[in-house]
């Protein structure tokens, strides 16, 4: 995750959000990084990623620099966009990956932006919960493989709903 410099917005409009996602796609391809989940908030973002090489620092540095340059060019701005270095948490099992995806996807609810997650389009939640079209760069297999049976998307929705009760416990582990 990373925040905007001085908590300022890191997207000014949908074109910036699309630019952000395009840059994520490029990072995924260029650095062989698997992207499992994302949410774009006004002044920060969360990504759930796996590196297939020991290159997270290099990938994130490229991403931050490239998106900042593109954002500044698109919006006639100058200077830093992100505050400090990105923050990362090492995840070592698939069950925790699923919990983190729930945490990431619930951000718009916690922020009071929406009352239903399906109403927030700048997140991978609709892809997981309602089988909406998945971009090539988003890898959903690991998280959806946690669920058994035929309707994994419905099971994911229920997991996210139940997760609200588990959220406090996870936050204590993260901080």
Q: What is the pLDDT of residue 175?
A: 47
Q: What is the pLDDT of residue 123?
A: 98
Residues of the chain with pLDDT under 70: 165-175
CATH of 2-83, one of 3.30.230.70, 3.30.450.20, 1.10.40.30, 3.30.70.1290: 3.30.70.1290
So where are the chain's domains? Answer: 2-83, 94-174
Q: What is the pLDDT of residue 170?
A: 56
Q: What is the pLDDT of residue 93?
A: 81
Q: What is the pLDDT of residue 171?
A: 54
CA distance 87 to 15: 25
Residues 55-83 have pLDDT tens digits of 999 999 999 999 999 999 999 999 999 99
Q: What is the pLDDT of residue 164?
A: 74
Q: What is the pLDDT of residue 163?
A: 84
Q: How far is CA 142 from the centre of its chain?
A: 15
């Amino acid at each position: 995750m990373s925040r905007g410099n001085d908590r300022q917005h890191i997207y000014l409009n949908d074109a910036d959000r699309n630019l952000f996602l395009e840059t994520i796609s490029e990072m995924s391809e260029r650095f062989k990084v698997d992207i499992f989940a994302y949410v774009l908030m006004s002044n920060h973002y969360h990504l759930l990623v796996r590196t297939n090489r020991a290159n997270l620092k290099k990938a994130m540095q490229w991403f931050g620099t490239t998106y900042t340059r593109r954002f500044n060019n698109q919006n006639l701005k100058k200077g830093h966009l992100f505050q400090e270095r990105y923050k990362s948490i090492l995840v070592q099992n698939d069950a925790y990956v699923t919990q983190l995806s729930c945490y990431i996807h619930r951000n718009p609810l916690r922020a009071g932006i929406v009352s239903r997650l399906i109403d927030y389009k700048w997140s991978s939640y609709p892809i997981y919960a309602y089988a909406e079209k998945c971009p090539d760069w988003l890898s959903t297999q690991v998280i959806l493989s946690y669920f058994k049976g035929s309707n994994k998307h419905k099971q994911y929705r229920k997991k996210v709903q139940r997760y609200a009760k588990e959220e406090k416990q996870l936050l204590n582990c993260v901080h």
